Copies of this chain bind each other. A is one copy, B any other.
Amino acid sequence: MSVLLRNIKTQTTRLQQQRYMSVVASVLKYSEFGDPAKVIEVQQETVADPSNGEVLVKTLGAPINPADINTIQGKYPVKPQFPAVGGNECVSEVVAVGGQVGGLKVGDRVVPFATGLGTWRSHALYKESNLMKVPNSIGIAEAATITVNPCTAYRMLKDFVPLKAGDTVIQNGANSACGQAVIQLCRAWGVDCVGIVRDRPEFSKLRDYLKDLGAAEILTEEELRTTKIFKDGLFKKPKLALNCVGGKNALEVSRHLDNQGIMVTYGGMSREPVTVPTASLIFKDLQFSGFWMTRWTKQNAQNPKRQEMFSELFELIGKGALKAPAHEMIAFTDYKTAVTNALSIQGFVGKKYIFTF
């Protein structure tokens, strides 16, 4: 296959494509819901020549997100058709283009512009309209993980409360992949980000790591209950809280919100619902909303805000202000290890696995 790939990479004209196609791709597939380590299997699959409007890509990196695992477990509201291919994110290199493909050429780097495409595969045939070109200068890990977490962080910070430099955002799960993106975007925009994490043996190491990323303050859940950083005016009372935990943790976080503050929920790691005191709703005028990147992407496919967002994210990545979350590149052949560990906390900070093929 390596000879074949080398051949494909040398293609520059569409006429030549006809002779070299028919790539055999390695694909991580499943045909029933269940434990990802058991239901996934590696399959070889012949990929056809790109037709009109299609692009053949080679995957450079494809991350494992919690939602990918939940989908395979059957716990996600989006149910794939079987047989299904795992994964929703990747960065790939264009190795051949079909007719009527105007915006992409061989050698371009692309990320999928839609979810549910099945990205855990060495090669794929995608519609050009489902791909977005990304600068080749951006690291594989940053590009492979840009469409979910940095976008989620970006939209949650932009679309619920008008934030200006000096304002405060509070978030739990501050060490999550999304939490790390929130911290860095807040730093870039001059917003004080106060992060909450669970107490753990290496807490001070984690706090230092997140403060280095740009967090204004990192507290344990325990510290949150008694902190006076808002009362004493060290930070403004937050108008925005980001919640991926739920339960008591979310309740404690919401108590620190300023009047008219909004809590945006995008995850529920504790598997407990969000509890909202009646007085907070009526007298403090708090609002509780949710955010789902998949829906935003569907509803804003043609919205210029989307391109604005990616331009700003690329710029921040380009100047080193937005790094990929702590991660490990892992060969797709080690998928059992990767999918098994993807939902558990590895070390002092959550580590994201990124498949290489």
Contacts and interface: CB of A to CB of B under 8 A. Distances in A.
Contact of A268 (B273, B278, B289, B291): B278
Given A266-B282, A275-B273, A289 B292 contact: no
A278 B283 contact: no
A240 to B, nearest CB: 15
Given A77-B283, A283-B77, A278 B273 contact: yes
Interface in A229-261: 246
Contacts of A15: none
Given A273-B275, A275-B273, A289 B283 contact: no
A77 B291 CA distance: 31
Given A273-B275, A273-B276, A276-B273, A281 B288 contact: yes
A280 interface: yes
Contacts of A288: 276, 281, 287-289
A289 B286 CA distance: 6
A262 to B, nearest CB: 9
Nearest to A251: B273
A273 B280 CA distance: 10
A316 interface: no
A279 B274 CA distance: 10
A99 interface: no
Contacts of A283: 77, 290, 292
**Which range holds the interface residue count of chain A?**
20 to 34
Q: How many copies, total?
A: 2
Nearest to A246: B278
Contact of A274 (B77, B266, B276, B290): B276
Given A287-B288, A288-B287, A292-B285, A276 B276 contact: yes
A304 to B, nearest CB: 22
Nearest to A284: B290
Contacts of A289: 281, 285, 287-288
A295 interface: yes
A278 B288 CA distance: 11
B295 A281 contact: no
30 contacts: A265-B276, A265-B278, A265-B282, A266-B282, A267-B278, A267-B282, A268-B279, A268-B282, A273-B275, A273-B276, A273-B277, A273-B278, A274-B275, A274-B276, A274-B277, A274-B278, A274-B281, A281-B288, A281-B289, A281-B290, A282-B290, A283-B290, A283-B292, A284-B290, A285-B289, A285-B290, A287-B288, A287-B289, A287-B290, A288-B288
